[in-house]
Copies of this chain bind each other. A is one copy, B any other.
Amino acid sequence: METHIELEKVLPAEIEARSFEIITEELGDMPLIPGTEPIVKRCIHTSADFAYARSLHFTEGAVEHALEMLRNGASIVTDTQMGRAGINKARLAKYGGQVYCFMSDEDVAGAAKAGGTTRAAASMDKAASLGEPLIFAIGNAPTALVRLYELIQEGRLRPELIIGVPVGFVNVVQSKELILSLKDTPSIVARGRKGGSNIAACICNALLYMLD
């Protein structure tokens, strides 16, 4: 190296473990809810943003229920192709589940146009018609969360878990609070503006890795 920049010597297979060590060190005595630590730490690992230690909200028993459902073959619905790309599909398939993303489907585009809504919202209707145990991982579209809220209120859908982590500025904060206002829906929500498809995928992966 011709510069004075010093690289830490870490073997490829040890980079992730070393990262989690640093995260644990820097979290210090920050109180985390028992049983949620691997999820919180993986969100920080994915974002380098310690704000997730405070913003992530877990409804009671949500993690345990999600783990049981994944173990029994539940599938995951996500609102972006990036989210789908990031989820460990081989690990999910091991238990019988798959990842659905309907955002590029022509029928969804048509339904959104006809209804004056977003493709993300219309894709939640398509998911509701599947009639199977589903975990929703929403990392982009607040309109998807709003539509999930409506479908649940109308009794047309009962998600096993909603991962509510859209990112942004228009109705993002409100859509997350709507999900948290549901009494009987297990959820993991990043309160505030932050989140993303990467966070949605990493929460799914954290759950999958907890199964092993």
Identify the A interface with B (CB < 8 A). 1-3, 5-8, 10-12, 15, 18-19, 22-23, 45-49, 80-82, 84-86, 112, 116-118, 143, 146, 153, 167-172, 174-175, 177-178, 181, 192-198, 201
Across-interface contacts of A49 in B (CB, < 8 A): 49, 194
Once the chains are docked, how many angstroms separate the CA of A19 from the CA of B47? 21
User: Is there contact, CB below 8 Å, between B168 and A45?
Assistant: yes
User: Is there contact, CB below 8 Å, between B46 and A167?
Assistant: yes
Which residue of B1, B2, B48, B201 is within 8 Å of A194 (Cβ)? B48
Across-interface contacts of A3 in B (CB, < 8 A): 177-178, 181
User: Is there contact, CB below 8 Å, between B5 and A170?
Assistant: no
Across-interface contacts of A86 in B (CB, < 8 A): 80-82, 197
Across-interface contacts of A197 in B (CB, < 8 A): 82, 86, 198
